[in-house]
A and B are shown apart, each in its own frame.
Chain A
Amino acid sequence: NAGVTQTPKFQVLKTGQSMTLQCAQDMNHNSMYWYRQDPGMGLRLIYYSASEGTTDKGEVPNGYNVSRLNKREFSLRLESAAPSQTSVYFCASTRGNYNEQFFGPGTRLTVL
């Protein structure tokens, strides 16, 4: 099993550009999450999807949209990137409420 995979690994955008971060898991997990991590700080939850077909806002959702495409895939979209969105983005998944979260390797995004 590959676990949780994220693409791309690195991305540089100009202010105002849009892009979609992709996340997929092959563990048949129900719930998926997007976090961001700014330098020297802990992770903050952007959006999550408790099950296929549902999405909910986390702690810092402004400027982002998500799509739970199917049980495997959960994408994060930046419609108009801003320098404040420069961060490392982590996707995670978990089978259910009692289980640990598995994290992907991260996408390092720089917005100029």
Chain B
Amino acid sequence: DAKTTQPPSMDCAEGRAANLPCNHSTISGNEYVYWYRQIHSQGPQYIIHGLKNNETNEMASLIITEDRKSSTLILPHATLRDTAVYYCIVRVVWEYGNKLVFGAGTILRVKS
């Protein structure tokens, strides 16, 4: 699986959009980009995933660059409850067992 690079931490004002970047310059054509988050001491929570098109769901939007070497997770109106560690993961979806490899992630602090 391709490696990812994320900033160790970011701050965001409550009510503003939080834009979390992820670099995956070695991503291959059959690898998807997944985002999970982990709120303090809880199990990780799935947010969104995509291959090459931008994706949106009720939680967030995922913007993937045309060359697929980087992506941005957007939380459109961040709240204090969005304070968490956000993990960007790239992997082959049909790989046997659907294994995920977690890096250190980005600590997002939403401040009032």
Name A residues whose Cβ lies closer than 8 Å to a Cβ of B: 4, 31, 33, 35, 40-45, 48-50, 56, 58-59, 88, 90, 92, 94, 96-106
Contact = CB atoms under 8 A, between A and B. Distances in A.
A101 B104 contact: no
Nearest to A45: B99
Contacts of A44: 102
Given A43-B44, A56-B97, 5 more contacts: A42-B87, A43-B102, A45-B99, A100-B49, A105-B43
Classify chain B: how many residues form its interface, as a range. 20 to 34
B22 to A, nearest CB: 13
A96 B98 CA distance: 8
A105 B44 CA distance: 9
Nearest to B87: A42
A97 B103 CA distance: 20
Contacts of A103: 42-45
B95 interface: yes
Nearest to B105: A42
Contact of B101 (A31, A45, A94, A106): A45
Contact of A97 (B42, B95, B101): B95
Contact of B104 (A31, A41, A58, A105): A41
Contacts of A42: 87, 102-105
A101 to B, nearest CB: 6
A98 B103 CA distance: 21
10 contacts: A33-B99, A42-B87, A43-B102, A45-B100, A56-B97, A92-B43, A101-B46, A103-B45, A106-B41, A106-B42
Nearest to B103: A42
